[in-house]
Amino acid sequence: MKRILVVNVNWLGDVVFSSPIFKALKTAYPESKISCLAVPRVRDVLESVPGIDEIIVYDEEGSHRSPFAKLRLIHELSQKKFDAAFLLHRSLTRALFVFLAGIPRRIGYDTKGRGTFLTCRIKSPDERKVHRCDYYLNVVESFGVTVAGRASSLMVDAPAEREMRDTLRSYGVGEKDSLVVIHPGGNWDLKRWPARHFTLLIEQLMTEGQRKVVISGSSQDIPLAETIISQLTRKPVVLAGKIGLKKLPALMKRADCVVSADSGPLHIASSVGSRVVGIFGPTRPEITGPRGGGRSVILQHDVGCNRGPCYYLECPDNTCMQAVSVDKVIHAIRQIQNQ
């Protein structure tokens, strides 16, 4: 096969989990050009994934929202003469796209009644028992592609590292300083560790030793970061909303340790080789735990209702996240930094 299309998923962490697929495809088809169709918000991370030659943006909520724009995208795909399309995304619409684009081999899970549009229909495994990374890898493995490495991996280019080094220096963080990155956000509130816990954690980290602390996050996390630091006498560096996804892998790589709940940035950190402390509550590490090359310590307290993945977004007290104490996180940071 000379031209391969991978139709990727929409969420940051899942995109990171999909990264081993591209290396596996490049190994199986070394002469091929591999393209990836994905939504705009994950493009910057995809640019750090080894093995991707081209990114095709599908802006389903913007420039491709109208039926005419979708037809234009289908025409664009047909003009590229792909030999095969691997669908990681389970949507019916995307299966229809690759069918109408005339791609001769269309491989994906036979869900949502889209089997008609696939040439290789794969039975979906139980998502409650399979790690997301393995769930996506199963798509190419079912087609006969050998997967030698299952760890997620992201590249950090030299210019991004230099820019991040300069940014940190402007905030008084030198190259030899011990740096802990705190990522307090999450794509839904139920997965977030309480803000007051982060406040106490940062206070203790900055009191003991010579550690520097940076709070990362998107512009949406700025109010949360402000709440966390409002009661602190010694303030950490707040980069929430100040660096984008292009620079985030470089920040995570620079860190001696990254502390985060189950989030895309946690998986980015693990995938660039950083040590990570993951705070889990309603989600399960067997399914969405870090799969990168960095060492990891996962903290999760059994409160009964989180023995399986919990998606009860109206949970009144978020007991599972509150149950992970600041002392346990401090201990985990010490443990992982001494390994």
pLDDT in tens, 132-151: 999 999 999 999 999 999 99
What pLDDT score does 318 carry? Answer: 85
Distances from the Cα of 55 to the Cαs of 44, 87, 98, in angstroms?
A: 10, 15, 16
Is residue 338 very low, low, confident or very high in pLDDT (cuts 50, 70, 90)? confident
* E-strand stretches of 120-194: 120-122, 179-183
Whether 312 has a pLDDT exceeding 80, the answer reads no
Calpha distance 104→124 (Å, rounded): 22
pTM: 0.95
Task: Return the ∠ at Cα 145 (arms to 144 and 151), rounded to 5°.
Answer: 135
Task: Return the ∠ at Cα 194 (arms to 191 and 198), rounded to 5°.
Answer: 115
| Cβ 186 vs Cβ 261: under 8 Å | yes
The residue count of the chain comes to 339
Cα of first residue to Cα of last residue in the chain, in angstroms, is 44
* Mean pLDDT computed over 239-255: 95
- Side by side, the strands of the sheet bearing 257-261 are 237-238, 212-215, 179-183, 257-261, 276-280, 296-300
What pLDDT score does 186 carry? Answer: 85
With pLDDT > 70 as the criterion, what percentage of the chain qualifies?
Answer: 99
The mean-pLDDT minimum among 15-29, 76-90, 203-217 falls in: 203-217
Among candidate residues 274, 221, 270, the one with its CA nearest the CA of residue 243: 221
Residue 9 sits at φ, ψ, to 5 deg, of -90, 175
3-state class (DSSP) for residue 290: coil
Distances from the Cα of 234 to the Cαs of 54, 157, 179, 185, 339, in angstroms?
A: 45, 33, 15, 21, 28
Mean pLDDT over the full length of the chain: 94
What pLDDT score does 224 carry? Answer: 96
Look up residue 311 and give its two tokens: 């998606």
What pLDDT score does 6 carry? Answer: 98
Is residue 295 very low, low, confident or very high in pLDDT (cuts 50, 70, 90)? very high
* Domains of the chain as residue ranges with CATH: 3-141 (3.40.50.2000), 160-337 (3.40.50.2000)
The mean-pLDDT minimum among 74-78, 80-84, 109-113, 211-215 falls in: 109-113
* Mean pLDDT computed over 304-323: 84
b/e burial code for range 146-171 (CB count within 10 A of at least 16 → b)? ebeeeebbbebeeebbeebbebbeee
